[in-house]
Structure 1
Amino acid sequence: MLTLVLIQAVADPTGLLALVGWSGAIPSFDAGLWSFAPYLVFLPVLLVALWWVSARAGEWFWTLTAGIVLAVLLAQSATAFVMTWDLAAAGSAASFVAGKAIPAALIVAALTRWLGGPVSRRRLEPGPVWPPAVLFAGLAPLLAGLWWTGAAYAPGIPAARPDRGLLSVVIALALIAGATALSLRWMRSRVPGVLGGWLAALLAGGLVGLVQAVIGFAVDGGLSGDMWPLMVAYIAVADGLAFGACVGWIVGIGAVVTDRVAEGRAARAPQVAVAAVAAFALVATLVLPGGNSASAEAAPPAGMLRASASVITDGNGNQVLLRGVNVNNLVDFYQPRPDVPATTPLSEADFAGMAGYGFNVARLNISWSALEPERGTLDPAYLAQIGDAVGWAKKYGIYTVIDMHQDGWWNGPTEEGTTCRPGTETMWGYDGAPEWATITDGAPRCQFTGRDISPAGNRAFQNFYFDTNGVQTALAETWGKLAATFADEPMVAGFDLLNEPGFGETAPVTTSHQLASFYGQAIDRIRAAGAEQIMFVEPSIFWSGLGFDTGPTPGFTDDRNIVFSPHLYAESITMDRSLGIPAIVSLERQFTLGQRVAADLGAPLWSGEYGYWGEDDDVLARLVRYADAEDAHMLGSAYWVWKQACGDPQNGIQPVGNALMMQNCDGSGELPPKTELLDILSRAYPQAAPGVLTALEADGARLQLSGNTTERSCGLRLWVPGSAKPAVDVTGVTELEITSVPGGWSVTGCADGDYTVSTR
């Protein structure tokens, strides 16, 4: 096993596939224990556990395989615990490594049985199985917490979570008990003692995951054509295995105690005790608060947008849809060629142009490296540029979401003379953090398949997540200073705390637990600065690449004015497109998954980025599907991107700058806009609607919507594109006005109770 670990560490420069990866970074005690944990915790725990399972379960191939999986999961969990001192994070980390543990276990078990010589196999009496099984079902969900079942589980999949309701909890507990009893009968006839019960719990967790996957296939659109059912199956089984590995000791100890009590002719005592414990656990599971134990809703000052349950509102009883574009003109990009600018100048005319397409939000991308080139001091000239952009947007009725942008952590390229390990290659820089906040510990700036998988970038993110040299605290403090500048500006809709956070070296510890810690710290600093705008929080870069992820750990903040903001790139830049395989997550399903995670966080959903580009024949068809799904879910988003300079490293120095406003890279200036895309993006929509929307459908200037408001409101405001004055039919709406505006028409009115609006 140790040989396999060493081979993987050398062969895998990213650490994504290896049990213990080595990026080339040099561990340092100055960084903290986390940098040594993979070597000083994972390997010793793995070897001790392997010795135990080999001695007790090594006679049979399948029991040895299960034992090796258990050893790997326990080693990963112990490593994560030492890094975070958080049991839930440790349990979640164990599930993440299941995909590596199973093939490694099969290889090692096969070689062991092949080379290990003859063994003497014997069958044992399994002993009573129901008392420890019921004990496990009763106590384990309370010990496991929310990490065992996350947002990938559709409503209808049984899970022992109080927020899923009584029926779900009862069915889940019955599944756990039944699977554990079945596994105990098989495993304890082959493996004695505590280990036999523990391995039975591991197997039971996997069986429960399989049942959940089958139910998920039935209730979560298993025949929709994407690969999501396979992802659910993997996640459910991995979570189940981690569940059994981390808390299966309950079964092992319970089985041994039950055996000994039974041998003493007091066989009914354990049943009575177990029944009492199970009843207590069921009641406690239903009474204890769930993952979304939100505090009282925040109340920002009048005129500011805010999160209210599952929607964004204006504080006056109106739901607001934010639809617009990303603006990257202020990003401090790496410049591949000195003679080709990496950005285009930003001007008031840009925002006038956005308003002419009906856009009411600009996600303004900014760079930490330009904002704080020297630690502790914000650059006044750059602050002025941000202020100008906010002011221009406000002049044209456009909200701003200020986004701390990064791609690949910072804008440094591969240094000259760097030797990239096999499988990686030299890379450009991109954008993000200043040099003083970039700590790579000697890991090479090389990329594997793309900018977001780089030993140096991963190490820099790892140091950020664990606050090495206070860099995470520094960004939180910077957010406080920046937010204070715009604390009184209601047209700043909010702050997007970190664009597409990288996964570091120890996901999901980094991508859930540590990311949540940063978000909590940044929110505290912003609120302390007096800024009450919305906090936009993103999941890790995994969401952009896979179409799903867990998101920050629920409950990371008591602040309710937050919005969950993944980038909905399914069937666009997700890895299935580059691999030529069926969609992992369909374009339509991504909205449902996003809302599922948002619900766990008690927040609305808003997509900070999406887009479809290139010469593929189906680009427009995919954008139409996105628009239809966005309308069906009554959501907003920001398209990537308004303009893209010819020297932008993301553009790759192409003949044109590939954005909505096209740039000719031969020096002759701007090309005509992408009208075929803009026709879809500028379709009619409600910028604000009294109460809540209940249905929405649009195509160009044609719009149909319905809504409901409990109090009369005159906040109805629609955008309708085109030069021809629209015909408008309404029910429940009075004081209707249709006003010509640049690029189209503004339709306003007052609504009370149920109402409908249609335009043509």
Structure 2
Amino acid sequence: MRRMRALLTLIVLAGVALIATPAPASAAPLPGVFRDALGRELVLRGFNVSGSGKLRESGLLPFRSTADAVASAQAMRELTGATAIRFLISWEGVQPQPGVIDHAYLDRAAAQIRAFTDRGIRVLVDYHQDLWSRHLFDADSWYTGDGAPAWVIAGGDHPDESCGICLLWGQNMLSNQAVREAAHDFWANERGLQDAFLTQAGAAMRHLADTLPASSFALVLGMDPLNEPFDGGLDGMSGTTWEQQRLMPFYQRFRAVMDANGWAARPAFVEPLVFWNTTFGEAGGLSTVGTLGTRFVFNAHYYDGARLTLDPTPAGDGTYTAAMNRIRDRAAALGTTGFVSEFGNALSGTSSASRTPWMIRSMYQGLDSRLSGANWWRNAATAGPVLSATQWHWDVYSGRHAEAMNGNPSKILTTGDAWNDEDHSVISGTGALRLDPRVLDRVYPTAIAGEHLAFGYQDLARDGYGGAGGTAAWMTPPAGMPAVSALVGGRQYGVLVWRGTGLSAPTEVHLPASFAPARTAVVSTAAATVSSRLLSLSAGPSAGAVHVALVVSAPTGSLPTAAQTEAARAELNSWAAAQSWPMLR
């Protein structure tokens, strides 16, 4: 439901299996990890593609053509270093009529998915819905939806839609009886609607498994069964009981459909009740469903409901650590790994849009570590795992749409996302990033040869748009590390700590475009190689040793001398030796 939450109180890589390995019960509350066949821990970062999948003008797919998908994949890779996307499809697109599967739609979807997998970008397929269906809304309505096809809505006896006094589109989930009753019918399996959904989902999965080349299907992460599930009426239950008695049985049925249609080796990325972790509404979180295990991934969204509505303060260092840690801890309690498949904020049109750059910066900080920057160096042993995530969203048609809202030729939407007055795309319709690149193109570990212990990044992103505004250092080394402080002062830098587990494969770290190979300094206990956009760290096969790597962008001034590098290395080694690193897994 994205921006409106405030008011609504693996991987397979050419034979590489996606494995979510839970932490032992005796460990600190940590989720599992994604691993590749070499045993390396994987971090996935990227974007949702895209809100255009809600629009008829785009054929209910993220892109109007395969060529647009190819260009978008290449741009995303070059501009941000993305390694994963969440790819939107819809029930209406797959099954426009009862019993009819639109294989041409699925062929187009497969071709667009290949545009990303052919470039090494992994894909989570998402069955998307918002407000259940656009076919619930009148032609002159202020709002619209997406998801269920017209025939599903026509079969129900729903009242005329009305949100009442609604300032934000998500309020329809609370006050629009047409929307609520349509969702309620699904969860109650009225007229066999849930059965029909699962049948078409199985057909779609089978089609994609059969159509995508093995090398492409190998990079499909899994399936998100249903975006942002909302209850439509709890029937006297609490939110947690509703999840236990309505939502989880649906996920179990969906899991069985995946198994029967070629997706048995991939997890279901399951979401909690949409109200969970929204600041104002805390119900849900799959807290009463028992242990999920590794065939499911705990798939959460996060938007700052308070700053979207009532809170006028800017975001800063550590603003979102608590919210992201809640996702980490919930995944750990469920015995699986966590994934944040949506987060972000509007770039215009809301009270918080002017504060968006640092809101996004702080959200990424929360994904990187359990800690604020001010606490990172002192408490790095408790930094916890890096969360994989896909930001909302990446729309190459941003600001140049031509969508007839609810089919009304008198309401042609052209601006923003062309959907319910939203404007969230980080890419413009002209192909330029709309935020400071330092917010989006970040240092992060993509593959860790061992046990990840801590990661932190000082991005120095500005608080305005287009590189405007001021900056601030959120992650300053302590006074007892003068050599490190001199090396990183006023510069972008990242720190990775990991324990070797006997793997001979390298640890790999994505480097932003701002880290030019000739102007990048690395201080590490592992042998380091810097190339364009990649830091490769080879620690050798020794198990049990703790390794540290500090990577610094030095675009101006003198590069550190050998003596300065050795002094910084000595400080890093002393610092790491003084930490009480946990035995994670």
Q: TM-score, normalised by structure 2?
A: 0.68
Aligned equivalents of 1:474, 1:750: Cα separation in 2: 52
Aligned to 1:58: none
1:711 pairs with 2:502: yes
Q: Is the 8 A contact 2:205 2:258 kept in 1?
A: yes
Out of 427, 430, 447, the position equivalent to 1:661 is 427
Q: Is the 8 A contact 1:497 1:519 kept in 2?
A: yes
Aligned to 1:387: 110
Alpha-carbon spacing, 1:315–1:441, altered in 2? closer, same or farther (3 Å): farther
Aligned to 2:375: none
Structure with more helix by fraction: 1
Letter in 2 for 1:433: A
Aligned to 2:18: 305
Aligned to 1:587: 320
Task: List gaps (5 residues or longer) in structure 1.
Answer: 1-226, 232-296, 418-425, 664-669
Out of 447, 453, 456, the position equivalent to 1:697 is 456
Out of 123, 146, 152, the position equivalent to 1:431 is 146
Q: Is the 8 A contact 1:401 1:495 kept in 2?
A: yes
Q: Is the 8 A contact 2:506 2:539 kept in 1?
A: yes
Out of 305, 308, 317, the position equivalent to 1:577 is 308
Q: Is the 8 A contact 2:131 2:144 kept in 1?
A: yes
Aligned to 2:577: none
Comparing 559-568 with 502-511, greater Cα deviation is found at: 502-511
1:758 pairs with 2:510: no
Deviation at 1:501, TM superposition (A): 0.9
Deviation at 1:535, TM superposition (A): 1.2
Alpha-carbon spacing, 1:301–1:524, altered in 2? closer, same or farther (3 Å): farther
Letter in 1 for 2:531: T
Aligned to 1:476: 198
Deviation at 1:619, TM superposition (A): 1.7
Please show how residues 349-428 of structure 1 align to structure 2 within 5 Å: 349-356=71-78, 357-415=80-138, 426-428=141-143
Aligned to 1:623: 360
Aligned residues: CA RMSD: 3.5
Aligned equivalents of 2:522, 2:311: Cα separation in 1: 46
Percent identity of paired positions between Structure 1 and Structure 2: 22
Aligned equivalents of 2:52, 2:414: Cα separation in 1: 21
Please show how residues 324-723 of structure 1 align to structure 2 within 5 Å: 324-328=46-50, 331-333=53-55, 345=65, 346-356=68-78, 357-415=80-138, 426-438=141-153, 440-448=156-164, 449=166, 450=169, 451-453=172-174, 454-487=176-209, 489-506=217-234, 508=239, 509-531=241-263, 532-543=265-276, 545=278, 546=280, 548-552=282-286, 554-555=288-289, 560-569=294-303, 571=304, 574=305, 577-580=308-311, 587-615=320-348, 616-633=353-370, 634-643=386-395, 644=398, 646-647=401-402, 653=413, 655-657=415-417, 658=423, 659-663=425-429, 670=430, 672-676=432-436, 678-700=437-459, 702-722=493-513
Alpha-carbon spacing, 1:469–1:315, altered in 2? closer, same or farther (3 Å): farther
Aligned equivalents of 2:251, 2:93: Cα separation in 1: 21
Q: Is the 8 A contact 1:686 1:718 kept in 2?
A: yes
Which secondary structure does the structure 2 equivalent of 1:521 belong to?
A: helix
Alpha-carbon spacing, 1:558–1:686, altered in 2? closer, same or farther (3 Å): closer
Letter in 1 for 2:538: G
Deviation at 1:554, TM superposition (A): 4.5
Which secondary structure does the structure 1 equivalent of 2:302 belong to?
A: coil
Letter in 2 for 1:626: M
Aligned to 1:199: none
Deviation at 1:656, TM superposition (A): 4.4
Deviation at 1:747, TM superposition (A): 3.1
Q: Is the 8 A contact 1:332 1:369 kept in 2?
A: no
Which secondary structure does the structure 1 equivalent of 2:526 belong to?
A: strand
Aligned equivalents of 1:629, 1:433: Cα separation in 2: 34
Task: List gaps (5 residues or longer) in structure 2.
Answer: 1-5, 23-31, 371-385, 418-422, 460-491, 553-585
Alpha-carbon spacing, 1:556–1:461, altered in 2? closer, same or farther (3 Å): farther
Aligned to 2:463: none
Aligned equivalents of 2:42, 2:182: Cα separation in 1: 37
Aligned equivalents of 1:461, 1:656: Cα separation in 2: 28
Aligned to 1:31: none
Which secondary structure does the structure 2 equivalent of 1:637 belong to?
A: strand
Alpha-carbon spacing, 1:459–1:693, altered in 2? closer, same or farther (3 Å): same
Which secondary structure does the structure 2 equivalent of 1:383 belong to?
A: helix
Aligned to 1:745: 534
Aligned equivalents of 1:673, 1:344: Cα separation in 2: 20
Letter in 2 for 1:564: F
Aligned equivalents of 1:687, 1:608: Cα separation in 2: 17
Q: Is the 8 A contact 2:443 2:494 kept in 1?
A: yes
Letter in 1 for 2:296: I
Higher relative contact order (CA closer than 8 Å, sequence separation 6+): 2
Q: Is the 8 A contact 2:298 2:339 kept in 1?
A: yes
Once the two structures are superposed, residues 268-290 of structure 1 have per-residue CA deviations (whole angstroms, 9 ceiling, x without a partner) of xxxxxxxxxxxxxxxxxxxxxxx
1:733 pairs with 2:526: yes
Number of aligned residues: 440
Deviation at 1:737, TM superposition (A): 3.2
Aligned equivalents of 2:277, 2:222: Cα separation in 1: 21
Q: Is the 8 A contact 1:691 1:709 kept in 2?
A: yes
Letter in 1 for 2:163: Q
Please show how residues 107-146 of structure 1 align to structure 2 within 5 Å: none
Deviation at 1:457, TM superposition (A): 1.3
Aligned equivalents of 2:43, 2:95: Cα separation in 1: 32
Aligned equivalents of 1:382, 1:706: Cα separation in 2: 45
Alpha-carbon spacing, 1:655–1:481, altered in 2? closer, same or farther (3 Å): closer
Aligned equivalents of 1:515, 1:647: Cα separation in 2: 36
Once the two structures are superposed, residues 68-120 of structure 1 have per-residue CA deviations (whole angstroms, 9 ceiling, x without a partner) of xxxxxxxxxxxxxxxxxxxxxxxxxxxxxxxxxxxxxxxxxxxxxxxxxxxxx
Aligned equivalents of 1:342, 1:590: Cα separation in 2: 29
Larger Rg: 1
Once the two structures are superposed, residues 233-287 of structure 1 have per-residue CA deviations (whole angstroms, 9 ceiling, x without a partner) of xxxxxxxxxxxxxxxxxxxxxxxxxxxxxxxxxxxxxxxxxxxxxxxxxxxxxxx
Aligned equivalents of 2:73, 2:62: Cα separation in 1: 20
Deviation at 1:675, TM superposition (A): 4.0
Alpha-carbon spacing, 1:652–1:514, altered in 2? closer, same or farther (3 Å): farther
Q: Is the 8 A contact 2:11 2:36 kept in 1?
A: no
